[in-house]
A and B are shown apart, each in its own frame.
Chain A
Amino acid sequence: MSPFLFWIFALLTVIFGAAVVINRNPVASALSLVVSFLGLAALFMSLNAYFIGIIQVLVYAGAVMVLFLFIIMLLDLRAERGRQINWLASAGGLAVTLILLCQIFSVVGHFEIARKAFPPLPGSTTDDVRNIGAALFKNYNLPFQVVAVLVLVATIGVVLLSKREPR
């Protein structure tokens, strides 16, 4: 992938990710999150991970975001009114975030291997669904079944949680 396209999609992801946090209106935040996830899916495809990119669009930009928008509209959340901001707590949160960012940058900056370009990819990755499926069912069969049980438990839990208690 050309560096130009990489930086376009990276900026798209980061700017709309920041818009999620900055927007006061929850609907605007949710729509910014969709654009951020689409940029991220493009970054996955630039890394030859086509299956993960498509799953990202289907699951995140599709299902999860519909769930978020549905809940926002069900609860009828409006933009936050200008309640007084606890400046001390906000400054503390920002300081911790900046320290984390400096830490990440220093670790990545001192990571010698990370300065090399990606090695060439001789094999074709257009059928990576087959390769991921083989890895999933050969090497990761037990975790796969555990995740299936987890999803079942989540389904039952959600039904129980959203049931109205008899009074």
Chain B
Amino acid sequence: MVTLGDYLMVSGVLFAIGFAGVMLRRNVIIILMSLELMLNAANLSLVAFSRFRVGLNGLPNYNAQVFVFFIITVAAAEVAVGLAILVALYRARQTTDIKDISSLKF
């Protein structure tokens, strides 16, 4: 029997993996991929809650799925802008390593 908790655990582990990627990796493009992993972990728990809340009409709660739809749209726009910034950065500095891009570091 698969419970809601199992899906939430998988979602939490996936989020932690994405978080570890942001904390540990130095390549900006891998950091962007880890951000995508974290967004998708949030999507998984939203869809699991949507299936868990079956309404009176016998259908899942579609509000959460609309929310996931918005998250996917915004994430796609975010990736496009992030990669454009990365290309502009590479043009200026010839690097994608965050150790070489520390002008704004406190």
A residues near B (Cβ < 8 Å) are 1, 3, 6, 10, 13-14, 17-18, 20-21, 26, 29-30, 33, 36-37, 40, 43-44, 47-49, 51-52, 55-56, 59-60, 63-64, 67-68, 71-72, 74-75, 77, 80, 83, 90, 92-94, 96-97, 100-101, 104-105, 108-109, 111, 113-123, 125, 128, 131-132, 135-136, 139-140, 143, 147, 150-151, 154-155, 157-158, 161-162, 164
Q: How far is the CA of A101 from the CA of B27 in the complex (A)?
A: 23
Residue total for B at the interface (Cβ-Cβ under 8 A): 73
Q: How far is the CA of A150 from the CA of B18 in the complex (A)?
A: 25
Min CB distance, B14 to chain A, in Å? 5
- Which chain B residue has the least Cβ–Cβ distance from A146? B70
Question: For residue A140, which residues in chain B have a CB less than 8 angstroms away from its CB?
Answer: 66, 70
Question: For residue A60, which residues in chain B have a CB less than 8 angstroms away from its CB?
Answer: 36, 40, 72
Q: How far is the CA of A20 from the CA of B21 in the complex (A)?
A: 8
Contact (Cβ within 8 A) B8 A111: yes
Majority SS at the chain B contact face: helix
Given contacts A77-B96, A104-B12, A118-B2, contact A131 B86 (CB under 8 A): no
Given contacts A68-B83, A97-B20, A150-B77, contact A132 B66 (CB under 8 A): yes
Contact (Cβ within 8 A) A132 B62: yes
- Which chain A residue has the least Cβ–Cβ distance from B70? A147
Min CB distance, A98 to chain B, in Å? 8
Task: Point out the residue from A6, A68, A104, A161 that lies within 8 Å of B15, measured CB to CB.
Answer: A104
